[in-house]
């Protein structure tokens, strides 16, 4: 995404629509990049204007993660595809314990998409990136014909730096560990579903989309023995815990009544026949910490605005079958299996 | 793209098609990742199975670039969207003078896309990545409903390391510099167009898609004073040179008869009314080097298999208007302007 400095006969018309020339690498594409993308994402690295951004790199290991975003609708209570795509990739780097440093963004636009909507989305990306302190340093834009895409898809890649000595992994959970969640589950997925289904609630469901690296930094600084962190996105809490249980070759037992769940999210799930354990979150943290440090970790999470409603929701135990189970509110016990098949398409 | 190790009732059926569950983060998605993606892209970093890959990083500056690929058709003479997406991002990092280290890949799949075609594409990515010595260390897969995508889109991000003291930029061209190209222009774009238009030639036009970092390393090792490197993709040689001229605030004069152009590409361009100067390349290098080092740079390029047909095609001069001009074969002089509007959609 070169930021080419030239004069244009007219400023970009935000009443217009994306056309194929916006992806062709010529003057029209350059104008879109300069007047819409570069203006919203403005930073010294993007302004270098070369094929690749040259970036200072502190010592440590590199952490890299990528996410494609196809959420529908593009705008939803609490956010849009722009800020979501910033938060998503930042969080994947942050849960490794790394400091996120830089973002790259690839846009696939459908011919006919309103430029005003694109400006709103890119503006939201820029704001989220500034709030997170992680600039979008490289980008690319392609345009496909009407009917070959769906408005806008955004693939973001985040890189960060991981200090020596810190090793978090889904494979490091061990018997005796405590399992924590940083707040209410299912908010993002049900915000999207409520939009799609036209559900109206007294208090509308708002996506939790947020960057978690500040919360994670506070947790790590607390001195608690953190073994694994994850953000439970697609597939929800249940899928994330099954992944960790399988990677670490352990079992888990959750307590249903300890898992934070908003009343309106529970109601929407019931209405739509969905289990909130499988509904996506975009600003929640799962932490597996040494059992003796559970309270210390909980206090660190609760001291941060994004962790106010954090809770200890279960424990890790020896289980050669790597099952995740749950003591239900009535007192029974049930399996929390992997998500089988499709639950919520295009949730992120 | 976690590589989760679990048993599946059946191996993935390559006679099947992509469905929405393949993007849902559950068991079906995990099976696709493990049996198709991880198998083809196999490397120790991807196998970590966490949200972000943890990677060794040599000292130096970080270089980062991203490219979304929407080429149509997905398979073409000389390559496919898989290897193209590897080469494209590697080249954007390599033209900064950096050593490419790692790739991330985000896939957006359309419901109904044949799994056999996906396997072929991912296999081609894996081969290209191995040939280049740049592993795909992170990935993501999303699925959109039939009619909301077009088979497969791939966004790749490359990171590399740039040694201290080396500074290449499109803003460093200066009067007196020589302009070189590493081989024939227009091969990729016309390979795609010949496919789309069903043009048959005695010798079919083959895409030049290739990773350029080996060629670039040899050029830099020659000791020639290299000021700017670019790979002239979308918008072709003309657009790339206009970008450099604008960034560096210089003029350029090309010699048409010096620019390598295959007979069949010239014929196809003539048939379709296209100017080869604006047609995309995916394995060609533009080098702007100190005038005294032109021959040394040319020899270095020609000594590499990807630069056998390299040529000195023009020179940089003082021009407050930053025009790119060309002495035509008949001896006249014409402007080589920016590409205005759309020429070839979905060429990469």
What pLDDT shows up at residue B339? 76
Predicted pLDDT of residue B51: 86
CA distance B39 to chain A (A): 18
Cα–Cα distance between B140 and B23 in angstroms, integer? 9
CATH architecture of A12-162: 2-Layer Sandwich (3.30)
Q: Do B53 and A69 touch (CB under 8 A)?
A: no
Predicted pLDDT of residue B342: 61
Residue A141 at interface with chain B, using a CB cutoff of 8 Å: yes
Contact yes or no for A57 and B61 at CB 8 A: yes
Under an 8 A CB cutoff, do B147 and A144 touch? no
SS3 label, residue A48:
helix
pLDDT at residue A4 in the model: 41
Q: Do A346 and B159 touch (CB under 8 A)?
A: no
The confidence score (pLDDT) of residue A106 equals: 98
- Name which of B68, B142, B280 is nearest A140 (Cβ-Cβ): B68
Query: What kind of fold does domain B178-335 have according to CATH?
Result: Phosphoribosyl-aminoimidazole Synthetase; Chain A, domain 2 (3.90.650)
Q: Are the C-beta atoms of B242 and B338 separated by less than 8 Å?
A: yes
Cα separation, B55 vs A141, in Å, equals 28
Q: Are B55 and B45 in contact (CB under 8 A)?
A: yes
Q: Which of A112, A108, A107 is nearest to A19 (CA)?
A: A112
Q: Which residue of B has its CA nearest to A341?
A: B21
Which is more confidently placed, B173 or A49?
A: B173
List the beta strands (DSSP E) in A212-272: 226-230, 251-255
Of B41, B58, B140, B278, which to mutate for an interface test with A (greatest number of A Cβ within 10 Å)? B140
Candidates A10, A28, A34, A51: best to mutate against B (most CBs of B within 10 A) is: A51
pLDDT at B226 over 70: yes
Give the minimum alpha-carbon distance from B257 to chain A in angstroms, rounded to a whole number: 24
**Neighbour count for residue A294 (Cβ, 10 Å):** 19
Is 0.90 exceeded by the ipTM? yes
SS (H, E, C) chain B: CCCCCCCCCCCCCCCCECCHHHHCCCHHHHHHHHHHHHHHHCCCCHHHCCCCEEECCCCCEEEEEEEEECCCCCEECCEEHHHHHHHHHHHHHHCCCCEEEEEEEEEEEECCCEHHHHHHHHHHHHHHHHHHCCCEEEEEEEEECCCCCCCEEEEEEEEEEECCCCCCCCCCCCCCCEEEECCCCCHHHHHHHHHHHCCCCCCCCCCCCCCCHHHHHHHHHCCCCEEEEECCCCCHHHHHHHHHHHHHCCEEEEEHHHCCCCHHHHHHHHHHCCCHHHCCCCCCCEEEECHHHHHHHHHHHHCCHHHCCCEEEEEEECCCCCCEEEECCCCCEEECCCCCCCCCCCCC
Put simply, the answer to whether A235 touches B26 (Cβ < 8 Å) is yes
How does DSSP classify residue A17? B
CB contact under 8 A, B145 and A346: yes
Instruction: Say which residue, B26 or B175, is predicted with more confidence.
Output: B175
Q: Please report the pLDDT score of residue A329 as a whole number.
A: 87
- What's the predicted TM-score (pTM) here? 0.96
CB distance from A37 to chain B under 8 Å?
Answer: no
Q: Which residues of B touch A323 (CB under 8 A)?
A: none
| β-strands B99-110, B152-162 pairing | antiparallel
Q: So what's the pLDDT on residue B6?
A: 47
A47 touches chain B (CB under 8 A): no
pLDDT at A201: 73
pLDDT in tens, B179-222: 999 999 999 999 999 999 888 777 889 999 999 999 999 999 99
Residue B343: pLDDT band with limits 50, 70, 90: low
pLDDT of residue B5: 41
Q: Which of A54, A62, A339 sits opposite B24 (nearest CB)?
A: A339
Nearest residue to B60 (alpha-carbon basis) of A57, A312, A26: A57
* For chain A, domain boundaries: 12-162, 178-335
CA distance A341 to A9: 52
Which residues between 71 and 130 in chain A have a beta carbon less than 8 angstroms from any beta carbon of chain B? 91-93, 95-96, 98, 101-102, 104-108
Mean pLDDT for all residues in chain B: 93
Tell me, yes or no, if A174 comes closer than 8 A to chain B by beta carbon.
no
Chain A residues within an 8 Å CB radius of B30:
338
A206-220, B9-23, B153-167: least confident range: B9-23
Does the pLDDT of residue B34 top 90, yes or no?
A: no
Contact A47, A38 (CB under 8 A): yes
Query: Nearest CA to CA, how far is A250 from chain B (Å)?
Result: 13
- Give the per-residue pLDDT at A150: 97
CB-based burial label for B221 (10 Å; 0-12, 13-18, 19+): exposed
Q: Residue written as tokens 């130096």? A: B60
Number of Cβ pairs closer than 8 Å across A and B?
309
Q: What is the mean pLDDT of residues B100-106?
A: 98
Cβ distance B345 to A24 less than 8 Å, yes or no, reads yes
Round to whole Å and give the CA distance between B185 and B260.
Answer: 6
pLDDT at B85 over 70: yes
- Write out the DSSP string of A91-119: HHHHTTT-EEEEEEEEEEEETT-BHHHHH
Low-confidence residues of chain A: pLDDT under 70: 1-10, 340-343
For B274-295, what is each residue's pLDDT tens digit? 999 999 999 999 999 999 999 9
The answer to whether the CB of A2 falls within 8 A of the CB of A26 is no
């Amino acid at each position: 995404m070169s930021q080419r400095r030239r004069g244009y006969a007219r400023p970009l018309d935000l009443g217009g629509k994306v056309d194929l020339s916006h992806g062709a690498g010529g003057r029209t594409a350059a104008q879109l990049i300069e007047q819409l993308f570069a203006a919203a994402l403005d930073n010294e690295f993007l302004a270098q204007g070369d094929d690749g951004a040259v970036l200072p790199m502190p010592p440590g290991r590199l952490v890299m993660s990528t996410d494609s975003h196809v959420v529908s609708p593009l705008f939803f209570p609490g956010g849009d595809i722009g800020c979501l795509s910033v938060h998503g990739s930042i969080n994947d780097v942050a849960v490794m314990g790394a400091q996120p440093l830089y973002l790259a963004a690839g846009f696939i636009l459908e011919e006919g998409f309103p430029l005003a909507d694109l400006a709103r989305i890119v503006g939201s990306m820029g704001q989220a990136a500034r709030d997170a302190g992680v600039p979008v340093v490289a980008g690319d834009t392609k345009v496909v014909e009407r009917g070959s895409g769906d408005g806008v898809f955004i693939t973001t890649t985040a890189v960060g730096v991981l200090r020596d000595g810190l090793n978090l992994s889904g494979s490091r959970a061990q018997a005796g560990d405590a399992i924590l969640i940083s707040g209410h589950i299912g908010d993002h997925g049900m915000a999207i579903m409520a939009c799609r289904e036209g559900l109206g609630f007294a208090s509308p469901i708002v996506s939790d989309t947020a960057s978690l690296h500040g919360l994670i930094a506070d947790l790590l600084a607390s001195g608690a023995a953190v073994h694994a962190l994850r953000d439970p996105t697609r597939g929800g809490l249940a899928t994330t815990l099954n992944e960790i249980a399988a990677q670490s070759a352990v079992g888990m037992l959750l307590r249903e009544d300890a898992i934070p769940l908003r009343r309106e999210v529970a109601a929407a799930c019931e209405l739509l026949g969905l289990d909130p354990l499988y509904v996506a979150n975009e600003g929640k943290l799962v932490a597996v910490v040494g059992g003796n440090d559970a309270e210390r970790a909980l206090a660190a999470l609760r001291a941060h605005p994004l962790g106010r409603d954090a809770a200890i929701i279960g424990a890790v135990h020896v289980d050669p079958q790597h099952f995740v189970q749950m003591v239900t509110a009535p007192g029974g016990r049930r399996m929390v299996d992997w998500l089988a098949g499709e639950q919520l398409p295009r949730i992120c």
